[in-house]
Each structure stands twice: as structure tokens, then as C-alpha cells.
Amino acid sequence: MTTHSRRLAAHEITVSFDGTPVLTDVSLHIARGETVGLRGASGSGKSTLARVLALLHRPDRGHVSLDGQPIAGARHQVAPRIRTRVALLFQSPRAAADPRFRLIDVIAEPLRALGTDRDEARRRARELADLVGLTADLLDRRPHAVSDGQLQRACLARALAQQPDYLLCDEATAMLDASTQAQVAAVIMSYQRERDAGVLLISHDQALLDRWADRVVDIAAGRIMAPAER
């Protein structure tokens, strides 16, 4: 496989909601090992693009490709071995975690979906919890009983559980204090180095983009503007 084909890409994506265009002919790619920053105002289409790339939303037109292979459909229309290669870390962990689950089951959720038996899934979940800085006493708590930072760490552990080749971070540190932001970023960067993973970093934090992104792409009114190479 050539370096050029080892990437997650959106090809001329168009999405509308209730007749209102959200994305129009958007193309973007993230190569393995690369960090791409995506910058834009609220309502510019950033989160919708992330959901399309994560195979959670099927576009009206255009398609997503994974390492050169076009992907048809979204969610459970896509085979687990394919859709688990892309993980999305949302801005709001409370919207992303089932409030009925204990944290250990939040983390283990993708493992169980892939057919891992319960004991093995929980063993792996404990390892991931330790990796992201969650102490063992937190794992039996439900989301309402932990802080936003603790819950976002659980969501990060859940995203890493499926060992994705591409990790999409949608303002994933925006709701966290500075210390937790740094810890979450360190875990993601370490994972990226170990797995040669591609990372999409959606953020309003210019300092974060300057530190982390290899290149930054601007989006406005649902259209990609010219990228600025660092």
C-alpha cells in the first residue's frame, strides 16, 4: 500500500438538513501519522464533517474512502472491521456516554460490540482506564457521579479500545480544565506515535493547533477554504 493511499478522505461531500445545506462539495484527507487541524466558527459544518468521516452519517452526495477504498453506507451498514478503524471523540462526554452504564462498561462498549467476551472486555477496559488516568474506584460509577474530565477520559479510553487507525477529536478538550486537557492530549499523542494513527483535531484553540497540527484547514459556511501549511 502506498503512503498516498494510507489515509482517511472525504470526497466532495454534500450534506443538507431539512433542505438547508450544511456541507457543500467538501474534500479533506488525513494521512496515517498526520495531525490535521480543522478550524471554523460555530455552525460552519465541522462536526457534521467529523460524523461523516467517522462513518456515522451518510452524505447526500460524495463519499468517504479508507486507505483508498470507497465506503458505502454508515453506522451498522458498514462492517465492524471497517467502521472500528475510525473513532470519534466528541466535545460533550455527557451526550456521548449512556447514563445507565458504569464507566467500565462505557469503555468496554466497542469491545463487546466486536464480540469480545465480558471478562476479557472488562480486563481490557481496566488497562485502558489506567492508561488515561482513571483510578479503579471510578470504574463502578455512572456518568452522573463523575466530573466532565473523568467522563471524557472514559470516552477517550472507549475510543482507543477499538484501536483505530484514525482518531477524530471534535473540540474534545474544550470543556476540560487545563490540567486535564494536557493529560488527554498527551495520551492521544502517545497513541498516535505508537500506532501511526491519523488525527483530526477540530478546535478553536489556536495555541493547541499551533502546537499539535501538521497543517490547518479552515471551513466556513460548509466549504473548505485553502489550507495553511505550517
Same domain, 127 and 181: no
pLDDT of the residue at 226:
61
Same domain, 159 and 183: no
Same domain, 138 and 196: no
Same domain, 49 and 156: no
Contacts (Cβ under 8 Å, ≥6 apart) of 143: 93, 94, 97, 98, 99, 101, 103, 106, 151
Average pLDDT over residues 156-163: 93
Least confident of 67-76, 82-91, 105-114: 105-114
User: Which of 133, 163, 193 is the last residue before a domain boundary?
Assistant: 163
pLDDT at 36 over 60: yes
Cell numbers at residue 44, please?
460552519
Least confident of 20-24, 91-95, 167-171: 91-95
More confident residue, 180 or 37: 37
Please state the φ and ψ torsions of residue 145, each to the nearest 5 degrees.
-100, 10
pLDDT at 206 over 90: no
* Residue 29 forms part of a structural domain: yes
Q: For the chain, what is the mean pLDDT?
A: 90
Same domain, 126 and 156: yes
Same domain, 24 and 115: no
Confidence of residue 204 (pLDDT cuts 50, 70, 90): confident
Same domain, 2 and 64: yes
| Predicted model pTM | 0.90
Q: Find residue 72's DSSP bridge partners.
A: none
User: Which of 163, 184, 213 is the last residue before a domain boundary?
Assistant: 163
Structural domain count, the chain:
2
Average pLDDT over residues 86-109: 92
Whose CA is closest to 215, among 47, 223, 225? 225
pLDDT in tens, 127-152: 999 999 999 999 999 999 999 889 99
Same domain, 69 and 107: no
CATH code at 202? 3.40.50.300
* Residue 91 forms part of a structural domain: no
DSSP state letters, 22-91:
EEEEEEEEEETT-EEEEE--TTSSHHHHHHHHTTSS--SEEEEEETTEEE-S-GGGS-HHHHTTEEEE-S
pLDDT in tens, 42-64: 889 999 999 999 999 999 999 99
pLDDT in tens, 166-200: 999 998 887 788 888 888 889 999 999 999 999 99
Same domain, 43 and 103: no
Domain extent for 141:
96-163
Least confident of 56-60, 118-122, 161-165, 175-179: 175-179
Same domain, 108 and 3: no
pLDDT at 26 over 80: yes
pLDDT at 153 over 50: yes
Average pLDDT over residues 219-229: 75
Confidence of residue 3 (pLDDT cuts 50, 70, 90): low
* Residue 138 forms part of a structural domain: yes
Same domain, 158 and 185: no
Same domain, 79 and 135: no
User: Which of 122, 139, 163 is the last residue before a domain boundary?
Assistant: 163
* Residue 90 forms part of a structural domain: no
